[in-house]
Amino acid sequence: MPNLSFSEKQTKDLNCGAFGLTAICNAFGLLPTKNIVELRHCDRIAVLAPSLTLTEVAEEIYRVTGDLMPTGGYSQEGEYLNSASAISYVAKQLGLRVTLNASEKIIIDLEKVFPGELMYCAEVANQMFINNDVYDLPSPDECQLVVVATFDNSYHWLAVGSNGVIYDPATGKAHCNWAELTATYERLSVWLSFSLTQENA
């Protein structure tokens, strides 16, 4: 069971997705990497080495995932929002299977802000499910990255382990249930589910 045991706080305003993915890869026993792993996505490059600390891994992953500009579109350089498509790419490179879950409503809403992003993510991911605004906790062999909205109308990623523990990169703290977070975030109907590929199971 990939349970989260990660307490690092994100080091920059927007690298929550990279820290959440690092927490998940750590839960699956994929970190530190056994060899040097070079990540290349949309002209962004990152290198993961076995000697890196988990914080350094997250910061390096963000070099690839922080490509989504708040106004829509992608940037080849700079530090922006973590795109679901880039997160999915990195996860697959590290040995995880990725499933995109989204409601029809959120697809329409996010398409207005980030044209093409969820469809691009669906192409990168192994699978996509359209749900009816119904959120399901991870199965015993899964972890999740869940998109939430903050009350200043920005987006944030939270990681959820197979035991339901929620890791918030903004604070580095673990929460036992969603009720503890409702005063801070609004959960949106879009999340990524991760499990080990057959080769890594």
pLDDT tens digits for 44-97? Answer: 999 999 999 999 999 999 999 999 999 899 999 999 999 999 999 999 999 999
- 4 in any annotated domain: no
pLDDT tens digits for 159-175? Answer: 999 999 999 999 999 99
- 6 in any annotated domain: no
HSE toward the beta carbon, residue 52, CA cutoff 13 A: 22
- 3 in any annotated domain: no
Structural domain including 186 reads 16-196
Residue 98's H or E segment, with its range, is strand 96-103
Question: How many domains, in total, are found in the chain?
Answer: 1
- 84 in any annotated domain: yes
